[in-house]
Each structure stands twice: as structure tokens, then as C-alpha cells.
Amino acid sequence: MSQAATEPIHVSDSDHFEELIADNDVALVDYYADWCGPCKMLAPTVEELAAETDAAVLKVDIDELQELAGEKGIRSVPTIEFYHNGEAADRVVGVQDKADLQAALDELRA
């Protein structure tokens, strides 16, 4: 397992995404867009989780990575996806409470 980053990892392309998901037991993926108001509201929460959890916290700009967002079926932002052992485990759409996101991560580790 790779060393957890203390801030969100910006995904550069599909290969980078797959590599990060494969290398980390638990990952939270924040699909966002710069023009999205709710995404801006969620950003500090995602940054706090990256600093506080050993899960990988990834950020995917849906405008930069339209193909990846399409492959993953992302229809609206913000969307948070959880991965466990390389597999998509859960997905939530919209601004989320930090405690709820942390609980979902904890559940994957249990």
C-alpha cells in the first residue's frame, strides 16, 4: 500500500486513476468541476479528510477528464465515490457531511 498523501491527489488521466485505485486499499474519489458551487463548498471537507485519513483521497476534474467521468457514469457534481480493494464500493451525490464521509471510509476498513 502506498503512503497516504496529506492532501487530495489530483488525477491526471485514466491510467493515473487506475494506478491510484489499485495501489490503495481504500480510496475516496471526489468528482468535481471548477464552475460548480457545491463542489467549492465540499472542497475543504475533502481536504480535511485527506489530511486526517489514511485512505487515498483523489480529485477528478470532470472537465479535464470528461472521458473518465463518462466511463464512471458521473452525471452530476459533486459526486463522491468510494473504492475498496480496487472495486467501487459506494457512491453519493451532492454536498456531504464530513462525519458521513468519514463513517463510510471507516466502514470500508472494518
Active site residues: 36, 39
Q: Which three cell numbers stand for residue 89?
A: 464500493
**Residue 83: closest CA among 9, 12, 6:** 9
Enter the DSSP assignment of 110.
Answer: -
35 SS3 class: coil
Joined together, the cell numbers standing for residue 60 give 477528478
